[in-house]
Amino acid sequence: MENGKLYLVPTPIGNLKDITLRALEILEYVDIIAAEDTRQSLKLLNHFNIKKSLFSYHKHNEQGKSEDIINKLKDGINIALITDAGTPGISDPGSVIVERCIEQGIEFEVLPGATAITTALVYSGLDTTKFIFRGFLPRENKERSPVIEEIKDSRDTIILYEAPHRIIDTLEYLLNNLGDRNIAVCRELTKLHEEICRGTISSVLKHFTDNRPRGEFVLVIEGKSEKEIQAEKEAVWIDLTIEEHLIKLIESGIDKKDAIKLVAKERNLPKKEVYKYSTEL
């Protein structure tokens, strides 16, 4: 018997009109649908008059249910996987079954479609050329501290998801650990009460402290700026004389000639000026 095929189908993140024609076609075609929340997905399917058998597939059962899906696919059953909103596998169930399909040599197809990440990124007005997506930060400081340590020095734009009851705490944490960077907080994307709040972390924090946060949030945070990087470099030598600066670099293992070039560059001085201080070293 020929294997069935798994389809990972994105669903709208708010506005039902954002579903694609291809997504509707696949949902009509498959034999059964795996859904993160069958009650939520039933509303979507009823809206488009699609009548299919549903079974639950969520983060609490995806390990065990992935085996059931593999067995069904081996029996020739075509299956669509959908989540409550967005693309399966992006901060939602999907990656486990993809891994199992690859291991088993079972064909699967990923449909393009709605995702809050790119929508928020473009809305933000921040750099879109390179970005880091980390989903939801861990709740406890001891678990999220390593995550922030890992990304805080990156120049790439940072994208996070957050829930309304945690948004104030998360913004305070980001302010304390990243500094007062530029940020865009996108709320209820594509929905009736969509809101894009841009500014510094402190100004956005004040806004949501004064206005009760509701809905789902995407945070788009500026990467480490050249200004921050330069300030940190200067902090290393700002209280040193030129001679002390040279000594510090040479003692760290840098060649004297290279140390002169580096000091000249960091202090925006002519190399001849710096060289005068190196003759006795």
pLDDT at 245 over 80: no
Q: Per-residue pLDDT averaged across 147-157, rounded?
A: 93
Return residue ranges of the chain for CATH 3.40.1010.10: 6-110
Q: Per-residue pLDDT averaged across 86-110, rounded?
A: 95
Helix, strand, coil share of the chain (percent; to 5): 45, 15, 35
Answer positive or negative: Cα dihedral of 214, 95, 18, 53: negative
Which pLDDT value is given to residue 261? Answer: 80
Render pLDDT for 189-221 as a digit per residue (tens, 0 to 9).
Answer: 999 999 999 999 999 999 999 998 999 999 999
Mean pLDDT, the chain, whole residue set: 91
Render pLDDT for 177-193 as a digit per residue (tens, 0 to 9).
Answer: 999 999 999 999 999 99
Helix (H) / strand (E) containing 258: helix 256-267
Which pLDDT value is given to residue 257? Answer: 79
CA–CA separation, 177 and 221 (whole Å): 13
Topology (CATH level 3) of domain 6-110:
Cobalt-precorrin-4 Transmethylase; domain 1 (3.40.1010)
CA–CA separation, 127 and 125 (whole Å): 7
Burial class for 129, CB neighbours closer than 10 Å (0-12, 13-18, 19+) = exposed
Which pLDDT value is given to residue 171? Answer: 97
Inter-residue contact 214 to 159 (CB < 8 Å):
no
Superfamily of domain covering 116-224: Tetrapyrrole methylase, C-terminal domain (3.30.950.10)
Least reliable range by pLDDT among 42-46, 244-248, 269-273: 244-248
Which pLDDT value is given to residue 125? Answer: 97
Residue 67 or residue 242, greater confidence: 67
280 — pLDDT class (breaks 50, 70, 90): low
Residue 181 or residue 236, greater confidence: 181
Which pLDDT value is given to residue 237? Answer: 64
Return residue ranges of the chain for CATH 3.30.950.10: 116-224
Number of Cβ within a 10 Å radius of residue 251: 9
